[in-house]
Structure 1
Amino acid sequence: MSSRFSSPCVISRRSLTGGLLAVALVWPVRAAEREGLQQVILGFTGGARPRPGRVTLDIPSLVENGNTVPVTIAVESPMSEADHVRGIALFNEKNPQPHVVTARFGPRSGRARLATRIRLATSQTLVAVAEMSDGTYWSDSAEVIVTLAACVEF
């Protein structure tokens, strides 16, 4: 009686070390996670601490599937030459890449609003930061619970 499952499982040294090499190559990407979410945000702002307010981060607090999570970020601004949003950035604390997206704006953009979909590896905090034309930074944050993760490799 022959079966394709009857032979013993054999793992070669080469396949094992290849797997370890793959884990080692992912390690530098995860270094930013160890650095901490706040450090990544301070890198974006040039060391300035964002103030809460003016930014609205709209994301579901409970996400069934982390593969396509809708996110909308809006910033209160007249979008005039004197007072406008220069950029909006989105950060997360547990994905392999903590700096998710940056969108640039100018006074002719009409309104400062960004809508997209992202992948989330697990439940975590997200932070949206807006850079204003006067050099100030404003932010909003949200906690998201993910029941089925994305961005994970098996």
Structure 2
Amino acid sequence: MSKNIQQMVRLDRREALKAAGAGVLALGFATTAHATPEAAAEALSKATGGASATASDKVSISLPEIAENGATVPVGVVVDSPMTPDNYVKHIHVFAEGNPSPETISFHLTPTGKADVNTRIRLGKTQNVVVAAVMSDGSVLTGTKEVKVTIGGCGG
């Protein structure tokens, strides 16, 4: 290669490395947008067809008070319902107020069995988890529980 071509290649490589370094720095300083309680309320309204929700002790949420690993937080929901063809839980929706998207998971139920579901969800930070149970008569019962997500399991 001639000396001029080598200099061009070297400069191009340097410029590429500079650009890559700037990109890495930009990614390091970028923040992930999180939902707000208002966004979670809007998602709840959309999922329930705009029905008004009522806080109820019939909705029991099982969550750890402190989650050492936000990537896999166990959550259980039990709704006190007779689960008969005339009175049952049609849907259970789970929302996380501080995740990038508040919609976490939805369960669709039939009158047979129990209104008892368990799963694992990802939580990005300490936040409220809101559960909405849509009943067969169209009413919506809700429950809320806060879970503290530690950073690296060190209580941060």
TM-score, with length taken from structure 1: 0.76
Q: Structure 2 counterpart of 1:33, which letter? A: A
1:47-66 paired onto structure 2 within 5 Å: 47-53=50-56, 54-66=58-70
Residue 72, structure 1, aligned to residue 76, structure 2: yes
Residue 126, structure 1, aligned to residue 133, structure 2: no
User: What's the CA shift string for 1:51-108, capped at 9, x where partnerless?
Assistant: 1112111101111111211100010111101001101010011112211000000112
**Equivalence for 2:35:** 33
1:108-119 paired onto structure 2 within 5 Å: 108=112, 110-119=113-122
The ranges of structure 1 where at least 4 consecutive aligned residues each deviate by more than 4 angstroms after the TM superposition are none
List gaps (5 residues or longer) in structure 1: 1-7, 150-154
User: What's the CA shift string for 1:26-65, capped at 9, x where partnerless?
Assistant: 98xx5x8256221111111122221111211110111111
After superposition, the Cα gap between the structure-2 partners of 1:14 and 1:67, relative to the gap in structure 1 and judged at 3 Å, is closer
Pick one of 84, 88, 91 that aligns with 1:87: 91
Structure 2 Cα separation of the partners of residues 121 and 93 of structure 1: 10
List gaps (5 residues or longer) in structure 2: 1-13
Q: Structure 1 counterpart of 2:48, which letter? A: T
TM-score, with length taken from structure 2: 0.75
Identity %: 34
Cα RMSD for the two superposed structures: 2.8
